Structure 1
């Protein structure tokens, strides 16, 4: 069922606006304009060569940050459409949510955070906001992309209210005018739950493809076991190349349908009359049911044990973290090793933060190239 536009949906005609006011577009809403700016950004293109779980040269069929982001955007639009939300805002937040990821995924993020501990820390959500408000420099009139408040709020609150957020997130959110308390729009919440759905389903797919675990090992998780039994009952004797994808698409379907049903239940119970009612609600408006939330945590536990902590993945990610650490230490100790524009950036924003910004913007392969330029030996990451 597709609901008509809801009174609690974000309305581009009622946006809180941009930091620098601009004349409206005659052909696009403000949220559509935000989406287009994200899609045309340099940071978005770099996602193609940034790690999701497997580094880029391990195979062409594994997810990258770019393909993950596109999958999140598709799921976010589906949820938004079903609940009468603004699809364009949900899509925009989904497209922008990972722009601040460092090379080599969470291993690169942890390495940068360790080196930035005395300088405000590093986390990719805060870095995404820095990209959108400062680091993209494509326009004559402003730094960043000058996006609407609603998009910036949605990216900042990708994981919920910012109470207890890292110092780096607190600083950049306050500078962007995003309050720390309260929820973001329902569209932002749709993008956030879409991120979880995409992670769960597609990491199962990539883990199977990489032979980190066998399909029948999914039976160790009750939710996945039930889905596998459903596939086997409907398609007895199905070959493994099709059996795995059948499981994955059913995982997506069940999670999406549950998020829509639970979102509709919470909306009906709370009866919000405006987007401000969603922001001030005591709980998330778009969420899994309690039973599905526990099932989804079970999938994450299985992936954590069988994939993210697999010896093969750990070995590569340890080497990758070492590359990021080496680069930070060299640039921090020797600013002349940085490109001239980043040396100048360090004088304006602080040397450590400029180094972190420079490294965070690297693709995996550029980080490897820089490491080979600056050091005698570079790990192969295999």
Structure 2
């Protein structure tokens, strides 16, 4: 049996806190928690983590109390990541920490806010939510007496930045999503314990957090779309990946409540995709044969993933959701309105620095336009949806109606 599935103990290629590359400071040792458990706890107790409760996932908060927010999505991702890490004999605590932090850099109003900030920050390099998450945990979340930020371990910081893959290729050129746009601004100036090695892959635990994100939002966006009335269960029967699951539930329990049907579809889809990832990833790990976490980073490929069949079906499912849900008029109408909110706030703050409390002081201390723009960007990116609307009303005496 593959060692990753044998349950015989930690895999030699896992990341373990005893071998961590450390933090920027040297805290007193904890008698009860590993270093990655401390990272997890610092993230959970941060202000930025609590703010996720009032940040949009897909459906804006006004549309209902039961749609997912960034916080509920994040908790679902962390549960899936723990399950996969446990099955592969990897470090559950590190996988959980990266999963819990992976969306800390997201703006209010979901990807709409991110698109606006990327456009408005284009003169200074644009906006990237993974880099923003690093800014949050290293610079902006300042509550500790002895250091700025959360002072997380190198491995957690690496996972936050690189869970979607290396930022550079072997020749030092921007890679993946950055191949056309270049590296996100400021990535090289964020204070970290040591070089994050942008040309290497992240550890397996961070790779798990990335695929757990895909599994969670695929299943839960379907559930929210049915709840919102954008889809009905019969619409799913021939859709790749979810179709076979939906058909099984539809034929086995045709007369039960729709909510029960959807719960069965959702949980079975999550289980199926988790099991596919575990089986396929164990095979890839065995094929490469890493003997350490460093071998994982330098092997030149991602080792956590779907089987080829499920990967293709998952792409088709995303295309279906994009066409039928993410671009539906009932979603796009509030999205366009929220983009206007974010744009107007950014432009107003950049013009005169009228931000509350310490943010106005930071703005005043900036020595050039780029510095002032970064202060404004940090402030706006950290907003919750309701706070952004309150600020819009304060500045412009108007509150958009998203209905």
State whether structure 2 residue 87 is matched by structure 1 residue 107: no
Taking the TM superposition and a 5 Å limit, the aligned residue runs for 1:116-155 are 116-155=121-160
CA deviation map 1:339-358 (0-9, x unaligned): 24112223248100000000
State whether structure 2 residue 85 is matched by structure 1 residue 80: yes
1:257 to 266, 275, 279: 275
CA deviation map 1:179-234 (0-9, x unaligned): 21111000001111000000100000000000011111113413222112211333
1:343 to 348, 351, 360: 360
1:308 to 319, 326, 329: 326
Kept in 2, the 8 Å contact 1:49–1:364? The answer is yes
Please provide the CA RMSD for this pair.
1.5
CA deviation map 1:153-191 (0-9, x unaligned): 000012111122366746325533312111100000111
State whether structure 2 residue 384 is matched by structure 1 residue 363: yes
2:227 to 209, 225, 230: 209
* DSSP-derived class of the 1:33 partner: helix
Kept in 1, the 8 Å contact 2:84–2:274? The answer is yes
* DSSP-derived class of the 1:222 partner: coil
CA deviation map 1:39-95 (0-9, x unaligned): 010000000000001111211110000000000000000000000000000000000
Partner of 2:171: none
TM-score, normalised by the number of residues in structure 1 = 0.96
Residues 123 and 249 of structure 1: is their aligned pair in 2 closer, same or farther, counting only changes over 3 Å? same
CA deviation map 1:268-296 (0-9, x unaligned): 11111000111012211111111111111
Partner of 2:309: 291
Kept in 1, the 8 Å contact 2:249–2:265? The answer is yes
Residues 189 and 182 of structure 1: is their aligned pair in 2 closer, same or farther, counting only changes over 3 Å? same
TM-score, normalised by the number of residues in structure 2 = 0.91
User: Deviation of residue 240 (structure 1)?
Assistant: 1.8
Hey, what's the Cα distance between the residues in 2 that align with 1:212 and 1:185?
Answer: 38
* DSSP-derived class of the 1:171 partner: coil
State whether structure 2 residue 214 is matched by structure 1 residue 199: no
Q: Which runs of 5+ in 2 are unaligned?
A: 169-173
Kept in 2, the 8 Å contact 1:156–1:173? The answer is no
CA deviation map 1:288-335 (0-9, x unaligned): 111111111111111101110001100100000000000001001111
Q: Which runs of 5+ in 1 are unaligned?
A: none
Taking the TM superposition and a 5 Å limit, the aligned residue runs for 1:25-40 are 25-40=30-45
Hey, what's the Cα distance between the residues in 2 that align with 1:322 and 1:174?
Answer: 31
Count, aligned residues? 381
Partner of 1:11: 16
User: Deviation of residue 237 (structure 1)?
Assistant: 2.9
2:243 to 212, 220, 225: 225
Kept in 2, the 8 Å contact 1:193–1:286? The answer is yes
Partner of 1:376: 397
Hey, what's the Cα distance between the residues in 2 that align with 1:161 and 1:168?
Answer: 11
2:207 to 182, 186, 189: 189
Residues 379 and 299 of structure 1: is their aligned pair in 2 closer, same or farther, counting only changes over 3 Å? same
Kept in 1, the 8 Å contact 2:216–2:270? The answer is yes
Kept in 2, the 8 Å contact 1:123–1:168? The answer is no
* DSSP-derived class of the 1:172 partner: coil
Hey, what's the Cα distance between the residues in 1 that align with 2:161 and 2:312?
Answer: 25
Kept in 2, the 8 Å contact 1:81–1:87? The answer is yes
Kept in 2, the 8 Å contact 1:137–1:143? The answer is yes
